Structure 1
């Protein structure tokens, strides 16, 4: 933990620098530039200009939020922020950026190990754009992950190490069981897609999201049934990361088709996959509730007052 605290300035600088390429591209595209967009791309269709301006502006603000989060996790004023105000956007950022990092590493390993060529596709963006953007996202994930670990350890480390009381009521255990049951839906769907049963998704992303579902369900079940004990920290991290990934990407894939934005040349998701994405969002929210229940501060039980003996 001390090493992470010493690394915070460097991690903050890495987060800020890794945002620059993406934000620069978004500013260029929002202002009408066509850098990195090949001729014939659906992004250049006249009817898509308004929608793409809105999408570029929104995603530019999202990446600017990474800058604010990095500063909040580093500067003293960040420790005075109310916990929900900081943890809610960090949860979303973890869910969006973490799978990008893992799927990028896995995709690179598969390409190098098996000499797997890139699949053919319609012109959408120049290849270097994806390299620059996903490298930046991966560095943001690493930087924010380190900053978050240092921040949580400094601000709430004692509470997390102490754990909570074992749940006596059935509510927490039922929430944990519900999270595990719901996580089985995206786990099965993404594992099948990753193994080639649906071929419309890339293998790395599907494998990562299947692992996220497994992590979220198992972590929530572990915390709900036994808040204390060994591997508690790993269960908290697994539940946080897995649930955030499911909710963030499920919400993203449900939202994008509604915008009618030309962000992909593929057809929109089927009804079955829409239900899967909805299950992802619900699973993520339920696991977040489990996390909140087992990490919230619990008041010490009041001790009964000792009777006062009459003085003779």
Structure 2
């Protein structure tokens, strides 16, 4: 067994283990709220609170199953495309949050403590376990997914993009433009921002992290379409493209749904700093760019060294 395979297998087990306490916490919240011994979240009825946490339990359970599928023998018998898609989306959600968690802890260490009111507050040890769970799952998938892909499709990290069509060029350009806009917002530019006063440090950091991953995806796509040798090992741009496209697709897909809701319903108690129409266009471009570039990478692998 090669060293990268050992690291990947260990990371996949660690990912499943890291998220298990989160599932236990959520189960305790559901049971406790049904029995009336634990508070219900502010703004929720008991039924709504139970439904929300039941859904998150299912999502976390699916994440644990995906992590185990990357390392257990039965994972090689699971249909590859659905498993790879689920892992890709999970990586897109979780891995970009790793630098955000670090930056947020450095820049806004006392934000939670500053909040007051009568809302139920999560104990510190629970908050720590939740954060460890998401960080552990993100790191585990970041290492476990490439090892799984190399076991199942040996050419996954040696191929190049399948051609360089106008659609692919447009997707790479779209990812780059979206990344630059998000980075400009993080730097304080107000073009496309409808409510500058609502910007906070979390919003800036999230835009900075998301913009960085979008730019990395665009740069990686350019590197992978070039003919001839490059200075970087092939697995570096491939990994950057996997994570970057996953971030574009997953986060912007979720944000697009929320943005469209705000744009159509116009609720009075919820808003975003950015202009809603501008945000909707950016997230649409991000989702499309992520999907197109990821599909191109998969097709390039299949038509190259992979099966």
> TM-score by structure 1 length?
0.75
What CA deviation, in whole Å up to 9, does each residue of 1:164-212 have, x standing for no partner? 5653x4343333333333443333334438xx98533515433322212
Q: For the Cα contact (< 8 Å) 1:96–1:248, is it kept in 2?
A: yes
Structure 1 counterpart of 2:111: 118
Structure 2 counterpart of 1:288: 291
Aligned length: 283
Structure 2 counterpart of 1:152: 149
Q: For the Cα contact (< 8 Å) 2:14–2:137, is it kept in 1?
A: yes
Structure 1 residue ranges without an equivalent (≥5):
260-265, 301-312
Q: Compared with structure 1, are the counterparts of its residues 277 and 146 closer, same or farther at alpha carbon in structure 2 (3 Å cutoff)?
A: farther
What CA deviation, in whole Å up to 9, does each residue of 1:240-273 have, x standing for no partner? 21232233223334546859xxxxxx84325615
Q: For the Cα contact (< 8 Å) 2:256–2:283, is it kept in 1?
A: no
Q: For the Cα contact (< 8 Å) 1:166–1:226, is it kept in 2?
A: no
- Tell me the distance in 2 between the aligned counterparts of 1:29 and 1:256: 25
- Tell me the distance in 1 between the aligned counterparts of 2:60 and 2:97: 14
What CA deviation, in whole Å up to 9, does each residue of 1:130-188 have, x standing for no partner? 32211111011111211112112222233531435653x43433333333334433333
| 2:105 aligned counterpart, secondary structure | helix
- Tell me the distance in 2 between the aligned counterparts of 1:12 and 1:253: 28
Structure 1 counterpart of 2:215: 214
Q: What are the equivalent positions in structure 2 for 1:176-191 lying under 5 Å apart?
A: 176-191=172-187
Q: What are the equivalent positions in structure 2 for 1:240-259 lying under 5 Å apart?
A: 240-255=242-257
Q: Compared with structure 1, are the counterparts of its residues 228 and 48 closer, same or farther at alpha carbon in structure 2 (3 Å cutoff)?
A: farther
Equivalent residue in structure 1 for 2:158, among 156, 161, 165: 161
Q: For the Cα contact (< 8 Å) 2:252–2:286, is it kept in 1?
A: no
Structure 2 counterpart of 1:205: 206
- Tell me the distance in 1 between the aligned counterparts of 2:132 and 2:251: 19
Once the two structures are overlaid, the 10-residue window that deviates more, 141-150 or 179-188, is: 179-188
Q: Compared with structure 1, are the counterparts of its residues 270 and 124 closer, same or farther at alpha carbon in structure 2 (3 Å cutoff)?
A: farther
- Tell me the distance in 2 between the aligned counterparts of 1:9 and 1:55: 32
The answer as to 2:13 corresponding to 1:13 is yes
Once the two structures are overlaid, the 10-residue window that deviates more, 154-163 or 134-143, is: 154-163
Q: What are the equivalent positions in structure 2 for 1:67-82 lying under 5 Å apart?
A: 67-82=64-79
Q: For the Cα contact (< 8 Å) 2:181–2:211, is it kept in 1?
A: no
- Tell me the distance in 1 between the aligned counterparts of 2:236 and 2:12: 24
- Tell me the distance in 1 between the aligned counterparts of 2:274 and 2:205: 23
CA-based RMSD = 3.5
Q: For the Cα contact (< 8 Å) 1:172–1:293, is it kept in 2?
A: yes
Structure 2 residue ranges without an equivalent (≥5):
190-195, 263-268
- TM-aligned CA deviation for residue 93 of structure 1: 0.6
- TM-aligned CA deviation for residue 74 of structure 1: 0.6
> TM-score by structure 2 length?
0.76
Structure 1 counterpart of 2:30: 30
| 1:31 aligned counterpart, secondary structure | helix
